[in-house]
Amino acid sequence: MAEIIDGKAVAAEIKQKIKERAERFLALRGRRVGLAVVKVGEDPASAVYVRNKIKACEQCGIASSAFYFDADIEQSKLIELIHTLNADANIDGILVQLPLPKHMDERAVLAEISPEKDADGFHAVNAGRLFLGEKTRFVACTPRGIMELIRSTGTEIAGKRAVVIGRSNIVGKSR
């Protein structure tokens, strides 16, 4: 039997919980949670996605920093920024918006993000922990969001069979 899931209502509940956690973080640490978003190139879908992430951060009380680069930036310059963000105590999460331009090695760029700040959960350490069923700080957003939507229906997931259509490194690899 099909069931319609109200994704906007689920998202509102999640955002409220995140906002409360961000407020507790601020009270304990004296600063807001910080997310750095890095976008390279002019992909229209990426522009919308980054804009929505920044808006969601504002709604939840998270400090966001956006870094925009032309598509022809050298990979070494992007990695230099990532190292700077890794060392920044006010940045708790780093997200490099994919896809990157063809001249860049996505795996090499993502590998430079500290696993403790890998907001997308794409770093090999975080993906490996997830695959092994170990606790990880970050999980890829798409599968995590899908699981939250399913959980919102009260559906018991354990023991169920599912079909995942797609060949992405992120879809189908969540707990």
Report helix, strand or coil for 153. coil
Active site residue 88: no
- Distance separating alpha carbons of residues 114 and 44, to the nearest angstrom: 27
The CA dihedral of 163, 3, 138, 64, to the nearest 10 degrees, is 130
Closest by CA to 44, choosing from 64, 71, 19, is 71
Catalytic residue among 39, 92, 118, 120: 120
Catalytic residue among 53, 92, 117, 118: 53
Active site residue 75: no
Catalytic residue among 39, 92, 97, 117: 97
Q: How far is Cα of residue 148 from the mean position of the Cα atoms in its chain? A: 15
Active site residue 97: yes
HEC string of 45-76 equals HHHHHHHHHHHHHHHHCCEEEEEEECCCCCHH
Q: Is the dihedral of CA 98, 129, 52, 76 positive or negative?
A: negative
Q: Across the beta sheet with 63-69, what order do the strands follow? A: 63-69, 34-40, 93-96
Active site residues: 53, 97, 120
